[in-house]
Structure 1
Amino acid sequence: RIVDKINNSIGQDPDAISIIGVLDIYGFESFKVNSFEQLCINMTNEKLQQHFNQHVFKMEQEEYTRDEIDWSYVEFVDNQDVLDLIEKKPGGIIALLDEACMFPKSTHETFAQKMYQTYKSHKRFSKPKLARTAFTINHYAGDVTYQADYFLDKNKDYVVAEHQALLNSSRCSFVANLFPPLPEESSKQSKFSSIGTRFKQQLQALMETLSTTEPHYIRCVKPNTVLKPGIFENDNVLNQLRCGGVLEAIRISCAGYPTKRTFDEFIDRFGVLAPELVDSSDEKTACAAICDKMGLKG
């Protein structure tokens, strides 16, 4: 609702075919105490890291393979197993959390024990020694230990019906739109809605939107861990670049082909070098012939 209000106020054309968007989110978080909020934020960063991998590594190299270009494949770390651990349904952490929220007798201890039992052999999940509710996930950017305390409370999206109706009847249209009327519910359990599940759905919608765009990535790197100017921690910066796949991306950029043209664009630009070949050959053959005539490897 707030985003809609902002878009309307700046006069965004709803019929616009092309848009330029800026996506700015919280970076990867790892504090002394990490809770449900950090899990959601880090899941988002895992999704965006996968999107980065998909575009910079997988799609780029698949294009070289399709074009039969001699190419040494650059390996990258696939984080799909981390995403499955968190969001897979059934079996993911969010699914287990939703299940726990629907049982009145569930506590954060029973939820943690369920995770320990379910993921005891998962390579991305571990239980700290002597922990009763804490668990550690091996994210693409490093290990993060979460405290399962309050996970159940934070995941429940419960609003008193009377409060919902009161706010919906507000004379301020902005407030009223934030609290639309609740749908008729024949079964509260079947209509259970959680913060985690809704966040996951919204994140998926965002990724579907991003998949239709031509992305450009801006990587933010922390120069030090003490948040003070004039301090540059080499090892810390290098680790961030390594975890984010930046070093592998640089390797692809150095070894790859930054300028791309379709066959017809190439012929339009350089066909004058071999006009006798352009009309008598198909586009791909003509492009290869032009390169051969100029002594270039194509």
Structure 2
Amino acid sequence: MTQSFRGAPPGVNLAMINGAAGGGADTLRQVEAKYPALLFKQQLTAYVEKIYGMIRDNLKKEISPLLGLCIQAPRTSRASLVKGASRSVANTAGQQALIAHWQGIVKSLTNFLNTLKSNNVPSFLVRKVFTQIFSFINVQLFNSLLLRRECCSFSNGEYVKAGLSELEHWCFKATDEYAGSSWDELKHIRQAIGFLVIHQKPKKTLDEISHDLCPVLSIQQLYRISTMYWDDKYGTHSVSPDVIANMRVLMTEDSNNAVSNSFLLDDDSSIPFSVDDLSKSMERFDIADIEPPPLIRENSGFSFLLPVAE
């Protein structure tokens, strides 16, 4: 970012620049014409990547406290329930309390989207931001689920499923132009929640679970959620002992084949685009229609961006 335009670029032979290789002044003019432009492109790329990372990480920080509240259904105090209230009323109150946290996340997503759109950020970059944000949500919720047995209950699965529908609705309203494949990034937590709320688990075979219900989850992850599951609503059981035994056999084989036995996901904080991706996705617009921000207007170095008085 602070590299000078006057330095020689990596790999450039100064002797060639000075004409020692026989190119003379023509060689010098050729290098001088190309190098500043290349350096400017490199610095501009670094600037875009830095700003992109700041935007993404700021949104992560904003929604992180809410994610911690979304993974487990709030417990409704018995004292707060009206005498004679039905079970459905109590469940509805609990769902509304959970949805409030999810709606806080939706509000943050919407505010960020509106800010990016109002500042003419290319839809290509907007999609990249939200795809990584939804991947972050997936990692945080899924890892919390598999680390906390109290979250692996049937009723908790229902609550989280209701919350995930809020994110699905947000993706629909944002459209593919801006949300892109964000909803697909939640596949781990969606499939894990699908397992928690499915009925008749003891009748499910390992093949049905691993290929139909939870194809994205590894055996280690399936074993973890199967053994931690508990039904606080209907008193039903998890998968059959035979399925658990088969999972153990497969995990043993994986460990012998040096397959990772970690059941946790890692968050990807890399920059998910290249310079070529960015240049190919740029949309044409008339710069005269955009009002420069105060810092640009007050800096004489950016005077070329200001409209010329006729």
Q: Considering only CA atoms, is the larger Rg found in Structure 1 or Structure 2? A: 2
TM-score band w.r.t. shorter chain: under 0.3
Q: Which structure has the highest strand share of the two? A: 1
Q: Which structure has the highest helix share of the two? A: 2
**TM-score, normalisation: structure 1:** 0.28
**TM-score, normalisation: structure 2:** 0.27
